[in-house]
A and B are shown apart, each in its own frame.
Chain A
């Protein structure tokens, strides 16, 4: 399927995500991240792996500006998140698409409206919504399920809706937080393939996962966290890399 970009996001950014000497200490005395340096370029597909408590969630919260670092600086898609003004945060978030393991679909909206919802809340025109939503639904192969409500969808379908929603406003960066955790393992590969498709359109994708089999299968850049530190950051070949 050809990539149709909306052109609404800043495509000139080279440094999509950059963390400089970032540390996060929680009040409870937990050191979630310690002096982390990380750079993800525009257009990359990155797996972030690590055990529970390794710092993956904290890293995602930093990238979505849910928290600020205790120390260091965070840049995402051209925004300096360390000192971004509060009223600019919504505009920054529009440049990032989020996918969650629990899908977070709105139960009383059908598939079409769940996807259109993102565009509505960001003030896009009806015309833009009418053009974009069918395209992304086609991309995730859910055109025939457009009128179905979330309670009638399988886990895999719900996650594809979530992916369509994340991609609907054409963000520069998509963050997928364990997107395959709550779906049939056989479907996990399809989800990652879908994210790879989106990545081929130029969108940077960061995927956090526990599933080593997926990482080994697809390969690519892998960042491994352990006790708040990056212990591995390299590109590895995958068993099904060429698919």
Chain B
């Protein structure tokens, strides 16, 4: 313990002695963790939205007011793609809209008639054939309009794929940059302390004793960067989340009401950020172990 406190002190004092490079490492690492973290949040949220959309993956078949709804139901059920058909009367449809847009109920109450047509919500067994199903349903006599949610789903899917690629690219490139910067910072510390290290070797310090302060230096920069990027992520994410919450009615219709709340994952995020920062710091230190640190 005596030794550890000595090594800890040595490592932390190196951060201060090398403060300009330490600050550069801190900035790079913070930006890296922040960008990768935000990309990860966007990826995860897109996944949740996609799941929501999939849950609501029903095709809405709107019928004309005078249509033979029993006939249309039979035609729909006879289609091999269809696994379930659910009827929503115009009254139920209006009620559901009122619940969805609670803050605008006066608008619905002031309507002279119920504009919601009788609707069948149809679930199909193969999402890849949704275009075919839509055109088949559209062809049924008495069908006014067919709505499939897949345009929105594919838009979200595109966003998720884009951010997955961006996230991975950022993780690799910024991770590499962070490691190089940390390695250079540590290398400067090693160079500045080379005489001390040479004396340590002569008097019988073990390899781990000589190396530990440099690991502490790299890892502490990583930890502080993790903490800072966590604070920035919290501010940015919660800011955007608040923006969504203010327009919750609109977003919930698009399946966005279930996206991750930062407060639910703040501890895990903090641990992941600090852990990733410390790991990058440690890897950078390993790369800086040059000739001065060999017995």
Contact = CB atoms under 8 A, between A and B. Distances in A.
Interface of A: 64, 86-87, 89-95, 97-98, 104, 106, 117-118, 120-123, 125-126, 165, 169
Contact of B295 (A89, A94, A120, A169): A89
Given A86-B295, A120-B6, A104 B198 contact: yes
B116 to A, nearest CB: 80
Nearest to B199: A104
Interface stretch (B172-180, B203-211, B238-246): B203-211
A106 B195 contact: yes
Contacts of A64: 202
B21 interface: no
Given A90-B206, A106-B199, A123-B3, 14 more contacts: A86-B295, A87-B206, A87-B207, A92-B204, A93-B202, A93-B203, A95-B204, A104-B198, A106-B196, A120-B6, A121-B204, A121-B209, A122-B204, A125-B2
Contacts of B199: 104, 106, 117
Contacts of A118: 203
Interface of B: 2-3, 6, 195-196, 198-207, 209, 295
A90 B198 contact: no
Dominant SS at the A interface? Answer: helix
Contacts of B201: 90, 93
A90 B205 contact: yes
7 contacts: A87-B207, A90-B205, A104-B195, A106-B195, A118-B203, A120-B6, A123-B2
Nearest to A106: B196
Contact of B204 (A94, A104, A106, A165): A94
A122 B195 contact: no
Contacts of A91: 204
A95 B201 CA distance: 13
Contacts of A95: 204
User: Which among A90, A92, A122, A123 has the highest number of chain B CB atoms within 10 Å?
Assistant: A90
Nearest to B5: A126
Nearest to A128: B2
Contacts, number: 51
Contacts of A125: 2
Contacts of B205: 90, 121-122
Given A89-B295, A90-B295, A126-B2, A121 B195 contact: no
Contacts of A87: 206-207
A89 B295 CA distance: 8
A146 B79 CA distance: 96
Contacts of B202: 64, 93, 98, 104
The 7 residue pairs across chains A and B that have the minimum distance between CB atoms: A94-B204, A93-B204, A121-B205, A90-B204, A118-B203, A90-B206, A98-B202
B22 to A, nearest CB: 18
A97 B199 CA distance: 11
A125 to B, nearest CB: 6
A165 B148 CA distance: 83
B40 to A, nearest CB: 41
Contacts of B6: 120
Nearest to B10: A120
Contacts of A126: 2
Nearest to B193: A106
A153 to B, nearest CB: 16
Contacts of B295: 86, 89-90
A95 B3 CA distance: 20
Nearest to A126: B2
A165 B199 CA distance: 11
B67 to A, nearest CB: 86
A165 B200 CA distance: 12
B198 A121 contact: no
A13 to B, nearest CB: 17
Nearest to A65: B295
A49 B245 CA distance: 86
A228 to B, nearest CB: 24
Contacts of B206: 87, 90
